[in-house]
Amino acid sequence: MKRLFTILTATLLTCVGINGQSNTMFMVEEGTQASCGPCAGQNPAFDALLEANNDKVVVLKYQTWWPGFDPMYLDNPDHVAARINYYGINGVPTAVGNGAEWANDCGAWPGAPACLSQDEIDAAYDVISPLTMNLSAQLVNGTLEVTGDITADQALSGNLKLRIALTEQTILYEDAPGGTNGETEYNHVMKTFVGGPGGISLDDMAMGDVYTINESVSLGSVNVYNYDQLEVVAFVQDDTDKQVYQAAKDQTIEIIVDAANNAAAGDISGTPGVICSGTQTLTPVFTLINGGSETLTSADIVYSANGGAEQTFNWTGSLETLGSEDVTVDPITFDASATEASVLNFMVMNPNGVTDEVVTDDTSELSIEPAPATENTVELTITTDPWGDEVYWEIRTASGIVAWGGNPNVGLDNVATGTFPPPFDANSYGNNQTYVEEIPLPAGTDCYTFHITDYFGDGLTGSGGYTLKDNNGNTMHSDVEDYQDQAIKDFSASSSVGISENELASAISIGPNPVNDILNVRINMDSQEAITIEVMNSLGQIVHSEGLGSISGFSLTEIDVKSFDEGMYYVNVLAGGTSSTTKFTVIK
């Protein structure tokens, strides 16, 4: 739940510069993570040192996508990745000061937070900067306005960039839960870069030149947990050698709201990235924002899909100024096209039962592209990282039947555990290996879901990755957008008619039954089919699953049941969109 802010009536301006000479504010940027053990070990003392030098340092932290789960990374993954890659940071926690990692003089590594000392901060601050910066910011009706100036006290040239970032000075674990390293608060967390992480280009400056800062950005799509913790930082950096020449900050941002009753539309979420054609039902999540000075207690959320009939969700609750709530609306059913995007339209009306005073922020729209399509087969290529046994994947039909899968001992129940190793299986994937699966799909036309997970929760790191291609070799899905704990991707397919239920049942035999050690599953197929074997206990829980690939003729699969409890079990064989179930008993 997001905490709410208290409207501020004064702005605290942090300026740098006295009598034409300015000390250099020490610009600290850190890559850190909420599930990183060493981060929890070093950050508390590091943060205390930085706070004690608040008049000498400017701090900006990037919550990364490894080694585990971090909800704050998901708030702005593109901007985080841009800065982490800019510095080439490949381990956390790692920090840079004025654009460079400090020395490893504490037995750790270059840029380790534990290695920063008071003497180093003092030395950096004592350097006279060629620039003087003044910075001020205010939030006006949901738009961040940043003003100020940069004065050249000395001539300065180079590949100069002005970077302006919005941070939250403190985020509590209760605001952004999910990290596993025990940290309870996160400081100076980057929310967004005004104008993007690439920065604003500056011309060479002669002595006496003044650059006026006048930038703005709407915060409608920025996930802010606590508005009274907002901070704006700015710094001038040479992209050639990454040196930071000066930095400034405004840690008390005035918040101005003109309208009394203004319900605003935020993001639309809770939907798939792509959607299969045909009749579809979605349950979207709509972010409702109170853009007015009055407490918002009711509003009407009106929504439709593809220009169809409108539905209305009557929201009630309590939101203070600039507070927000993710509202799960009632399901909506519509026809999705195979060639054109499906469009969801949302509008919020009647805040507190009166006319909305600001109509320009009442609507949101989300386009969902058609799912990629294939015929008969897909090809999956997985390149594992140094922890190959953590990867699990499966492909399911729309009715939930597993058409194919890999590394069954991990499964969908073991996702982002933050622990290792995963359950052992002799057929687990190896480390730093590439596997290519040619997957024939069950007969008929269907919508499929490809689901890939990671046991620890850090995804396929380094050179690891996956690619899912259609029958013509075109990429349908890949890990261009890194996943941490799991990724779920849809696609559609049509395949020729396969085997009947009676044909499949007659092709299967199992034994011995009862069994106490090895169960033999014999399958004799007259046609080429993709085969998956599942074993379920009496509660319907899958205790074993493996894909045999595409086979025809005779096959023998041995299933070790020695670790199974005594009782009744079921072997479910899936082939060509058809399944057949046989009962057996385990004895001791």
Sheet holding 363-370, edge to edge: 274-275, 363-370, 342-349, 296-305, 311-319
93: preceding bond cis by omega (within 30 degrees): yes
- What pLDDT, on a 0 to 100 scale, did the predictor assign at position 15? 44
**Are 342 and 418 part of one and the same domain?**
no
The residue that leads in pLDDT, 525 or 180, is 525
Residue 357 has pLDDT above 80, yes or no: yes
Q: CB–CB of 523/572 below 8 Å?
A: no
Residue 495 pLDDT > 90: no
- Residue 3 placed within a domain: no
Give the CATH number for residue 567.
2.60.40.1930
Q: Are residue 449 and residue 352 in the same domain, yes or no? A: no
Categorize the per-residue pLDDT at 576 as very low, low, confident or very high, splitting at 50, 70 and 90: low
Domain-located, residue 120? yes
Which of 122, 99, 129 shows the shortest CA–CA distance to 23? 129
> 485 pLDDT band (50/70/90 cuts)?
confident
Confidence label for 18 from pLDDT (cuts 50, 70 and 90): very low
> CA 180 → CA 121, 173, 457, distances in Å?
31, 10, 10
pTM for the predicted model, two decimal places: 0.64
Q: Where are the beta strands (DSSP E) in 350-480?
A: 363-370, 373-375, 377-383, 391-396, 402-406, 434-440, 444-454, 465-469, 475-478
Domain of residue 383 covers 373-495
Instruction: Please check the confidence at residue 422 and state whether its pLDDT lies above 90.
Output: no
Cβ distance 243 to 99 under 8 Å? yes
Give the burial class of 100: count Cβ atoms within 10 A of its Cβ; 0-12 exposed, 13-18 middle, 19 or more buried: middle
Mean pLDDT rounded to a whole number for the chain: 90
- What is the model's pLDDT at position 9? 31
- What is the pLDDT at residue 407? 74
- pLDDT at residue 7 is higher than 80: no
Q: Is residue 16 part of a domain?
A: no
Whether 2 is in a domain gets the answer no
pLDDT at residue 12 above 90?
Answer: no
3-state DSSP assignment of residue 231: strand
Reduce the DSSP state of residue 81 to 3 states and report it. helix
**DSSP string for 468-537:** EE-TTS-EEEETTS--SSEEEEEEEEEE-----HHHHHHTEEEE-SSBSSEEEEEEEEEEEEEEEEEEEE
Residues 6+ apart with CB under 8 A from 189: 61, 63, 72, 167, 168, 171
What is the structure's pLDDT at 480? 66
Cis amide linkage into residue 442, ω under 30° from 0? no
Q: For a pLDDT cut of 70, what percent of the chain falls above it?
A: 94
- Residue 9 within a domain: no
170: left (phi over 0), alpha (psi -120 to 50) or beta: beta
b/e for 181-190, b at 16 or more Cβ within 10 A? bebeebbbbb
Closest by alpha carbon to 493, among 374, 579, 323?
A: 374
**pLDDT value of residue 351:** 98
Q: For the chain, how many residues are written?
A: 588
**Using 50, 70 and 90 to split pLDDT, how confident is the model at 6?**
very low
Choosing from 473, 495, 517, the residue where a domain stops is: 495
3-state secondary structure at position 49: helix
DSSP class of residue 371 equals P
pLDDT at 3: 35
Q: Is residue 82 domain-resident?
A: yes
**Which one is predicted more confidently, 211 or 458?**
211
Q: Mark whether 235 and 355 lie in a shared domain.
A: no
Asked whether residue 471 falls in the same domain as residue 537, the answer is no
Q: What was the pLDDT predicted at 498?
A: 62
Average pLDDT over residues 495-513: 80
> Does residue 245 register a pLDDT over 70?
yes
Number of domains in the chain: 4
- pLDDT at 5 exceeding the cut of 50: no
Q: Predicted confidence band at 497 (pLDDT cuts at 50, 70, 90)?
A: low
Residue 547 has which token pair? 């894909």
Residue-wise pLDDT for 135-192, tens only, equals 999 999 889 999 999 999 999 999 999 999 999 999 998 888 878 889 999 999 999 9
Write the DSSP symbol of residue 111: T
Same structural domain for residues 351 and 475?
no
Same domain, 365 and 378: no
Q: Same domain for 271 and 398? A: no
pLDDT at 41: 94
Range with the lowest mean pLDDT among 238-247, 368-377, 418-427? Answer: 418-427
Return the bridge partners of 562, or none: none
Q: Three-state DSSP class for 113? A: helix
Of 290, 97, 58, nearest to 190 (Cα)?
58
Q: How many helices (H) and strands (E) does the chain have?
A: 5, 38
Contact at 8 Å (CB) between 132 and 153?
yes
Q: Which residues contact 206 (CB under 8 A, 6 or more apart)?
A: 152, 155
Report pLDDT digits (tens) over 372-416.
Answer: 999 878 999 999 999 999 988 988 888 887 778 877 667 777 777
Confidence of residue 324 (pLDDT cuts 50, 70, 90): confident
pLDDT single digits (tens) 49-79: 999 999 999 999 999 988 877 889 989 999 9
Instruction: For residue 527, tell me if it sits in a domain.
Output: yes
Residues 59, 156: one domain?
yes
From CA 493, how far away is CA 495, in angstroms rounded? 7
Q: Is pLDDT at 16 greater than 60 in this prediction? A: no
Higher-pLDDT residue of 123, 462? 123
**Together in a domain, 55 and 193:** yes
Dihedral sign for Cα 306, 449, 499, 541, please.
Answer: negative
Residue 236 contacts residue 150 (beta carbons within 8 Å): yes
254-287 pLDDT, tens digit each: 999 999 999 999 889 899 889 999 999 999 999 9
Per-residue pLDDT, 128: 98
Tokens 């590091």 -> residue: 46
Query: The CATH number of the domain where 388 resides is what?
Result: 2.60.40
- Single residue among 336, 370, 404 that ends a domain in this structure: 370
Query: Which CATH number covers residue 299?
Result: 2.60.40.10
425 inside domain: yes
Other beta carbons within 10 angstroms of residue 128's beta carbon come to: 10
Pick from 11, 10, 5, 292: which is nearest to 141 by CA?
Answer: 292
225: nearest Cα among 191, 260, 261, 254: 191
Mapped onto helix, strand or coil, the DSSP state of residue 466 is strand
Domain final residue pick, 320, 336, 370: 370
State the pLDDT at residue 10.
33
Could you tell me if 94 and 187 lie in one domain? yes
Q: What is the pLDDT of residue 14?
A: 44
- Residues 54, 40, single domain; the answer is yes
What is the rounded CA–CA span in Å between residue 581 and residue 565?
20
125 & 111 share domain? yes
Question: Cα separation of 585 and 569, whole Å?
Answer: 6
Kindly list the distances between the CA atom of residue 371 and the CA atoms of 320, 338, 440, 442, 492, in Å, as whole numbers in the listed order.
39, 7, 18, 18, 6
